[in-house]
Structure 1
Amino acid sequence: MLFARECTFMQGASGLDHLPEASLTEVAFAGRSNVGKSSLINALTGRNTLARTSNTPGRTQELNFFNLGGRLVLVDMPGYGFAQAPKGLVEKWTRLVNGFLKGRSVLRRAVVLVDSRHGLKDSDRDMMKMLDKAAVVYQVVLTKADKLKAAELDAVHARTLEEIRSRVAAHPTLIVTSSEKGTGIPELRAELASLA
């Protein structure tokens, strides 16, 4: 079982010249600020403090690389869509993420996290457009599912699925998760383990 293996922090990269050697298969996690990227990485790996979580949007400012059992590298990308970020920071973020996505031969998939309470936002669509252009296969994952009633969740699920069907590089399977309750974690683990 891949996710039962030890997962360790490798390094952070604030620029393309600081990226680790591309030797293992990589899966990148993208999402709006405060969507629950770090919480999901912690839930997947069964560790509480691997990826630092914060209530302050925009806390992750670099690409953080985690080695999962010497078989797979998880990449925690800086959150996007944080309106209060200075323009220069947003441009730096865009260059870093775009360069990483386009130039990383070992990147097998991006996981785009979407807060199920809000559904797809324009910043998510921009990210999907960036991934479509970079020809990186991505999988949309709804987070914080425990915060919604079943009917509301069903509606968000249907709307999101409808929208990703028209996307060039989108993986057709939409996974609904809750890091708190463990919902969807085994399904996502199986999906990612198949790439290692």
Structure 2
Amino acid sequence: MDETRTAIDPEATRLLFARPWTFVRGMAQANDLPPIAGTIEVAFAGRSNVGKSSLINALTGQQGLARTSNTPGRTQELNLFRPEVEAGLLLVDMPGYGYAEAPKEKVDVWNALIRDYLRGRPNLRRVYVLIDARHGLKKNDEDVLTLLDKAAVSYQIVLTKADKLKPGGIDKVLADTAERIRKRPAAFPEVLATSSEKGAGVEELRAAISRLLAGA
């Protein structure tokens, strides 16, 4: 199915993200996750301080929903969010990876949690891998993409902080990123560019999630 051409109801998308969202709970172990019947999940992964929480807040229109921090590595669990009115959708904020200043033991625990979740969650429909547009794909990003490829988990690259680039700069980063993932088996080919601060690309990301929900 070509998702980029799949028709969606714009009003249904608006209502999905206009309704109040709520924090469900944080999970320190993948086997603590709730039952999966009737629900799909989309997860957000990325390096520490890439802006995952800020993007989730922008996506849901609730600035205090996901806890943001200037301290890298703040998210240490799988944090789940859903609409207050049941819609068959969970958003999962995954622990940030690649924060070198955290104790190695803690990093190992976070990484194990990420691996367990990605390999053992059959209703996980897509992982949005967030990449800081100013820095592009790094080695630890590539490692996560390889893990996703091996686990056969569909993922899509979402560039964050696109407003921090000079005019025209985002087009080059989009093209470079698309080329670097072109031969990866689990990568969705379209790369999105977003800015949580300016709201750029948020509607496109909402539409992409709505397509996944419509095809559930």
TM-score bin, normalised by smaller chain: over 0.9
2:35 corresponds to 1:12? no
- 2:143 corresponds to: 126
Structure 1 position 15, deviation (Å) = 1.1
- 1:174 corresponds to: 191
State the TM-score, normalizing by the size of structure 1.
0.97
Structure 1 position 151, deviation (Å) = 2.7
Structure 1 position 90, deviation (Å) = 1.6
Structure 1 position 85, deviation (Å) = 1.6
Q: Distance in 2 between matches of 1:164 and 1:93?
A: 25
Question: Is the Cα contact below 8 Å between 1:60 and 1:78 reproduced in 2?
Answer: yes
Any runs of at least 4 consecutive aligned residues in structure 1 with deviations exceeding 4 A, and if so which? Answer: none
In our comparison, the structure showing a higher alpha carbon Rg is: 2
Structure 1 position 152, deviation (Å) = 2.1
Question: Is the Cα contact below 8 Å between 1:30 and 1:110 reproduced in 2?
Answer: yes
Range moving further from structure 2, 152-161 or 73-82: 152-161
State the TM-score, normalizing by the size of structure 2.
0.88
- 1:61 corresponds to: 76
**SS of alignment partner, residue 130 of structure 1:** helix
Q: How does 1:152-167 map to 2 (within 5 A)?
A: 152-167=169-184
- 2:10 corresponds to: none
- 1:34 corresponds to: 49
Q: Deviations over 1:42-101 (max 9, x none)?
A: 000000000000000000000000013422100000001111121111211121111111
Q: Distance in 2 between matches of 1:2 and 1:173?
A: 23
- The aligned amino acid for 2:63 is N
Q: Which runs of 5+ in 2 are unaligned?
A: 1-14
2:64 corresponds to 1:49? yes
**SS of alignment partner, residue 191 of structure 1:** helix
Question: Is the Cα contact below 8 Å between 1:33 and 1:81 reproduced in 2?
Answer: yes
* Paired positions, count: 196
**RMSD between superposed Cα atoms in Å:** 1.0
- 1:111 corresponds to: 128
Q: Distance in 1 between matches of 2:109 and 2:150?
A: 19
- The aligned amino acid for 1:12 is G
Range moving further from structure 2, 65-74 or 117-126: 65-74
Q: Which runs of 5+ in 1 are unaligned?
A: none
- 1:135 corresponds to: 152
**SS of alignment partner, residue 139 of structure 1:** strand
Question: Is the Cα contact below 8 Å between 1:108 and 1:137 reproduced in 2?
Answer: yes
Question: Is the Cα contact below 8 Å between 2:28 and 2:76 reproduced in 1?
Answer: yes
Question: Is the Cα contact below 8 Å between 1:11 and 1:20 reproduced in 2?
Answer: no
- The aligned amino acid for 1:56 is T
- The aligned amino acid for 1:175 is L
**SS of alignment partner, residue 157 of structure 1:** helix
- 1:70 corresponds to: 86
- The aligned amino acid for 2:47 is R
Structure 1 position 17, deviation (Å) = 3.0
